[in-house]
Chains A and B, each alone.
Chain A
Amino acid sequence: MVTQQEVMKALEAVIDPELGLNIVEMGLVYGVKVENDQVHVSMTLSARACPLHGSMLSGAENVIKRMDGVKAVVVELVWDPPWTPDMIAPETRKRMGFR
């Protein structure tokens, strides 16, 4: 059975091509639940109208599906709480020179 940490690690492969940041360090992943061979991810997007975000969700789904021991993946899109740049990991903000 995979662990929450392993799922989070796998999700780091999903990178926003505009910012060059992965969805975990951007703070887009709100929660990961693992029950037996099923993984449930709740995540948000930085803006509702961003044309790239379809690929972020399918990317998250794809990387988890490829993990050993995972049979089913549900990636749930949520808008509450709304994402803000404050959710970007502090070390990432520093590395990227963000305010």
Chain B
Amino acid sequence: MRLATDRSPGLTIPFRYLFTGVAVLLLVSAGIVLHAQALTGYFFRSPVFLALTHLITLGWITLTIMGAMFQLVPVVTEKALFSERVARAVYYLYLVGLVLLVRAFVSDTSAGMGAGIVSAAIVLFLSDIAVTMFRRAGQGPAVTGAVVPSGVHQGAVSGTGRADLAVWYVRAAMVFLLMTVVMGSLAAAGLHRHIVDNPLALLSMHMTIAGIGWVCFAVIGFSFRLVPMFVLSHGYDETYGWTSFAMLLTGLVLLVLHFTLELVVPGFWPDGTSWLGLAGAMAILAGIVGYTLQMRVIFRNRVRRQIEPALWFTICATAYFVIAGAALVWMFAFRYPIRLGSVTVIAGLFGFAGMYIIGMMHKIVPFLHWYNKYSSGIGTREVPMTRDMISGPLTWVQLFVFNAGMVLLASGILTGTGSVILVSGVLLFSGSLMFAWNMVNVLRT
């Protein structure tokens, strides 16, 4: 009898990624406090904005997703991680690259070296995960003829001959991560070596694929796997989830086409309006609505009536996702108001991905630490419950503080008010400190 969990990597691998992510979140929120005034203007080429967005996307969100994937992909696929050594090497390589990249943004010098190292680390990460996912199966426990009707969720299942919604999202996210690296390299080359007339179109493509393709698909994939597990939701219909997948993919393709036309035929959208971009944004919003409806189905089907604060983070995250989608449509409908673009990025990255990550970390970190420290004692000695390893009241406080910080940050940027951004930064930093405290305390139990 062998279990997938026997094949998951040592705890130090996911934990180094997850905890470094927490540290980067502290750094980012401190950065908002220190540079509040710099965030009131036009950002996209500003050193502070570039440094902070890359710290959020690469340093916090991507690092956390990487750690979660190194842990969960072997568990879900029931195959051992292809190489733990690669997973360790990726961590150090990635960090070095990230530090060089952010330093280059801050000092407004060439980011080529840092971006190259980060890209190499990402390619190694993707290779390790892809080989793990697609290596020969047959090492998992026997499936004794479970019959699962198509489109109906029966818990986290693999090997039942049925398409797995969460796995499809994660696979797509991996492809988009690779595309993000390629587009980022092209955009950087375009900006510095002037190889294209409109490098901003390449940059927009890079941001779109990174934000929607990589971050959103990965987070959605994880949420479709983890949320039902934690609220005990089974036997529900997944039609909304599949519809969401199709709509998000369609929207992404349309947006990439829109930017491609802008790149290849300068002035293709002369007055700044684009029906193609608007159609893409509307498809994305439809995908987000599909995701929201699927989450509603999951929650309505839950057995555990009480919703813990960690799960409230995921509910808030979904609300921010809807706001980000609506802001995206607004942006394309009304000729790219730049501040609204920033609000879209904040609602999507900090609000959706960030809130989701914070919520799930409150469940995953105690889970993994418990497994590492107490699982051998189960049934033979008294072991704590995972809920005893985290402070519930502190998690509630965090929920309110992060929400207040998020709303103020978006408002401050939308209105260009430095003092509001400063207050939001203080709130986000306080929330991050509480979050870090809660996480570190798990390790003390």
Q: Do A84 and B385 touch across chains, with their CB atoms under 8 A apart?
A: no
A52 interface residue per 8 A CB criterion = yes
Give the chain A neighbours of B387 by CB distance below 8 A.
18, 20
Using C-beta atoms within 8 Å of the partner chain, give the interface range for chain A: 35 or more
Q: Do B8 and A51 touch across chains, with their CB atoms under 8 A apart?
A: yes
B306 nearest CB across to chain A (Å): 7
B107 interface residue per 8 A CB criterion = no
Give the chain B neighbours of A83 by CB distance below 8 A.
155
Q: How far is B376's CA from A57's CA once the two chains are assembled, in angstroms?
A: 10
Q: How far is B154's CA from A95's CA once the two chains are assembled, in angstroms?
A: 24
Select one of B143, B156, B302 contacting A47, CB under 8 A: B156
**CB within 8 Å for A49 and B146 given contacts A17-B385, A98-B304:** no
Q: Do A20 and B302 touch across chains, with their CB atoms under 8 A apart?
A: no
Q: Do A55 and B155 touch across chains, with their CB atoms under 8 A apart?
A: no
Please report the number of residue pairs spanning A and B whose Cβ atoms sit closer than 8 angstroms.
133
A-side interface mostly = loop
Q: How far is B304's CA from A99's CA once the two chains are assembled, in angstroms?
A: 7
Q: Do B146 and A58 touch across chains, with their CB atoms under 8 A apart?
A: no
A69 nearest CB across to chain B (Å): 18
Q: Do A58 and B375 touch across chains, with their CB atoms under 8 A apart?
A: yes
A38 interface residue per 8 A CB criterion = no
Using C-beta atoms within 8 Å of the partner chain, give the interface range for chain B: 35 or more
Q: Which residue of B lies closest to A88 (CB)?
A: B303
**CB within 8 Å for A49 and B371 given contacts A84-B234, A99-B305:** no
Give the chain B neighbours of A18 by CB distance below 8 A.
230, 367, 385-387
Give the chain B neighbours of A51 by CB distance below 8 A.
5, 8, 71-72, 75, 367-368, 371
B97 nearest CB across to chain A (Å): 29
Residues of B202-238 whose CB lies within 8 A of A: 225, 229-230, 232, 234-235
A98 nearest CB across to chain B (Å): 5
Q: How far is B154's CA from A18's CA once the two chains are assembled, in angstroms?
A: 19
Give the chain B neighbours of A57 by CB distance below 8 A.
1, 3
A54-B371, A55-B5, A77-B141 known; 16 new pairs, CB 8 Å cut-off, are A18-B385, A19-B232, A19-B304, A20-B385, A47-B157, A48-B158, A52-B375, A54-B4, A58-B378, A59-B379, A63-B380, A75-B1, A81-B146, A82-B146, A82-B148, A84-B235
Across the A-B interface, the 5 shortest Cβ-Cβ residue pairs? A55-B375, A59-B378, A54-B5, A49-B156, A59-B379
A–B pairs, 10, beta carbons within 8 Å: A47-B157, A48-B157, A49-B76, A49-B229, A51-B71, A52-B5, A52-B367, A63-B380, A77-B141, A82-B146
